[in-house]
Structure 1
Amino acid sequence: MAGLGSKAASVAFDSVTKVYGRDVLAVDRVNLNIAPGKLVTLLGPSGCGKTTTLRMIAGLEMATKGRILIGDKDVTKLPATDRDVSMVFQSYALFPHMTVIENVSYGLRFSGYSKSETLERANAGLSLVGLDRYGARLPSELSGGQQQRVAVARALVLEPQVLLFDEPLSNLDAKLRRQVREEIREIQQKLGLTVVYVTHDQEEALAVSDEIVVMKNATIAQIGTPRALYDAPADTFVADFIGEANLIGCEITATDGDMAEIAVGSARHSLPSRGLKPGKATLAIRPSRVRVVEGKGLPATVEKVTYVGARMEYTFAGDFGRVFAVSDNVDDPYRMGDAVNIGLAASGPVLVPDA
């Protein structure tokens, strides 16, 4: 890591809007503050505005309205070359005719470093991503995961104020995705980098982020830590998008201060009201929080059983609809057609407003 340091900066969006052509609204009055040294993920379905937001930070797209600040500097009108940010692309974007060390050194050649200092910094970058002995190879001689690490090293050696990742793991298989995301997170924390990371993969976002910005229809649906978004989603959209929630109808029968009494069929439960009033409501239950109970509960039938190695996956059907559940008990699974009773765990179910 010798020779590489951090000059992490904050990123701020002040009512930023991006319109393509006359009427294609890609980002709508977004306000966002990213603290220096944090990894913040922009998460959402295709077309929600997350990649456009990232590209506006990079200067690859210009804001139609509003201001973008990196640190204390207004960069709204500045081109990409004047923003002191680096971007790691989904496609790696390595030069196929250059060796690994030449790829990593490429940007440094235009940064005023001497030949020896360029080589030293490039080697430090390769060491940081665990590719010390790969400098003489061509990209075609590397695996997908190794190529992605070269792309990360090339961005890191420039010591940007902000490091941007655009779907960096989408071309990797599941095992490599997990490994490389852990490496990216470790490097980010070790160097104290400000990182803005775009993905549509909820598990990836939960695993790497200090904060997650969930986007929907060109706006921000919710900002929070991974646990806050998972345990207390702002509405049914966030609940369903983060972690695959079961959304079932319920009745709020009474409220007392911040608590609500709810009824789902014959089951009764007490939980935070989250500002909702008595009447019909929606309950979000994570698959891992669905409980099969002895005695009283919601009658259900095991409709589907799937073994996926480390866990069982079930679909339970009843008058409440269908719920998806997971269980670590792979040795004594339920069978299709079994009659069970579904209970509401003491923690986990949460009331959510409609999106």
Structure 2
Amino acid sequence: MSDTVISSKAAPVRFEGVSKVFGKDVIAVDNIDLHVQAGRLVTLLGPSGCGKTTTLRMIAGLEMASSGRILIGDRDVTRLPATDRDVSMVFQSYALFPHMSVLENVMYGLAFSGFAKEEARNRALTGLELVGLKGFDTRLPSELSGGQQQRVAVARALVLEPQVLLFDEPLSNLDAKLRRQVREDIRAIQQDLGLTVVYVTHDQEEALAVSDEIVVMRNAAIAQIGTPRALYDAPNDRFVADFIGEANLIACEIVSVAGELATIEIENYQHTLPARGLPPGPATLAVRPSRILTGGATGVEATVDKATYVGVRMEYTLTGAFGQVFAVEDNVDTPFEIGTTLRMSFAEKGPVLLPNAP
């Protein structure tokens, strides 16, 4: 863990065998165990319908667990309503009152929490300063950009000084440039204040950029938990490899294992990499697009089916007996032409062996 100072209000969150069933047989979350450490930003990541938003809503008390226990700090909150949990939530929509000023919007929750008007005003002004909106207090939401409106929503949640701050797809309404800026703002605020944050997104790049830890979810269960780098470099299975950072999945044969290293073969081309406990036999190789090398003297024969210039790099679709892969190259000055036959190999580091299972 970094040297970030943890807020005295920040609390851990723990799920113990938690399930959520809608109706008689729709399982939204299936018996998950999860521990979010105090002062950490943990992202729930996965495709639509995987259970990530339901998990977030159970922390907030907007959905009640069907079984299991949910603890915030040392307190069992499983059956407590949302109003009795010390959490704040930032939603996908900013949910700002258009007729209220920025300051009034940020003060709104404080007034309901029983703060005197002057204290609420001072807290709200401090909150606006924390999110970089000092001097914006008299403006209306319509006078702000999308990114500024989202920061007002963050300030409104922060001023309540919750034990846990929750984000539900907070950047989905912003354009690409603003998404990058606001996610950096959220991460900086979380680290500066030492907050416990649980963050939901389906965007892999967003999750990699903001998280201390990522919980990858699939089919109402947890597929893998790890740091961004651990998930990117060492996925457990095909789903995680493909979902985190777009991996090419190529069938291969492990021809030998010596200690912790395996030698694989694809069409007479051999490559050595960590065995990850797998024995000789059929396996799957996960290779990131940037770890595919093209144009060398050795490798697997491939044909360039597509070549796309995207400014800072070239993107290629390569086809061969192994199937089809997506590769990227920094060389934009002398790109390969469509129809070119070349040799495709792999970088020394990066490719990962996975069990040969769906």
TM score, norm. by length of structure 1: 0.97
Q: Partner residue of 1:43?
A: 45
- Deviating beyond 3 angstroms after TM superposition, the runs of 4 or more aligned structure 1 residues are none
Q: Distance in 2 between matches of 1:139 and 1:338?
A: 54
Moved more, 197-206 or 266-275: 266-275
Q: Which residue of 2 aligns with 1:105?
A: 107
**In the TM superposition, what whole-angstrom CA distance separates every residue of 1:268-293 from its partner, at most 9, and x where no partner exists?**
11111112222111100001111114
Report the Cα distance in structure 1 between the residues aligned to 2:298 and 2:331, rounded to whole angstroms.
22
- C-alpha RMSD of matched pairs (Å): 1.0
Output aligned runs, 1:116-127, within 5 Å: 116-127=118-129
The whole-number CA distance in structure 2 between the counterparts of 1:337 and 1:188 is 49
Structure 2 distance, partners of 1:196, 1:335, is 46
Mapped to 1, the partners of 2:295 and 2:330 lie a distance apart of: 16
Q: Within 5 Å, which residues of 2 pair with 1:180-219?
A: 180-219=182-221
Gaps of 5+ in 1: none
Q: Which of 214, 239, 257 is matched with 1:255 structurally?
A: 257
Give the TM-score, by structure 2 length.
0.96
Number of paired residues?
351
Deviation at 1:300, TM superposition (A): 1.0
Structure 2 counterpart of 1:327, one-letter code: E
Map of 2:239 onto structure 1: 237
CA distance in 1, matches of 2:285, 2:65: 38
**Do the aligned residues in 2 keep the contact of 1:16 with 1:28 (CA within 8 Å)?**
yes
CA contact (8 A) 1:104 1:151 kept: yes
> 3-state DSSP class of the match of 2:265?
strand
Please report how far the alpha carbon of residue 138 of structure 1 lies from its aligned counterpart in structure 2 after TM superposition. Answer: 1.4
Pairing of 1:73-112 with structure 2 (within 5 A): 73-112=75-114
Q: Secondary structure at the match of 1:310?
A: coil
Task: Note the C-alpha offset of 1:333.
Answer: 1.6
Q: Which residue of 1 aligns with 2:226?
A: 224
Provide the residue aligned with 1:29 in structure 2.
31
Q: CA deviation at 1:130?
A: 1.1
Instruction: Please state whether the residue corresponding to 1:193 is helix, strand or coil.
Output: coil
Query: For 2:65, which of 63, 66, 70 is the aligned residue?
Result: 63
Q: 1: CA distance between counterparts of 2:332 and 2:149?
A: 37
Distance in 1, Cα, partners of 2:8 & 2:337: 55
| Contact 1:12-1:69 at 8 Å conserved across structures | yes
Deviation for aligned residue 1:77: 0.5
Distance between the aligned counterparts of 1:311 and 1:257, measured in 2? 38
Please, which of 125, 129, 132 is the counterpart of residue 130 of structure 1? 132
Contact 1:6 1:191 in 2 (8 A): no
Displacement after TM superposition at 1:256 (Å): 2.4
Aligned match of 2:180: 178
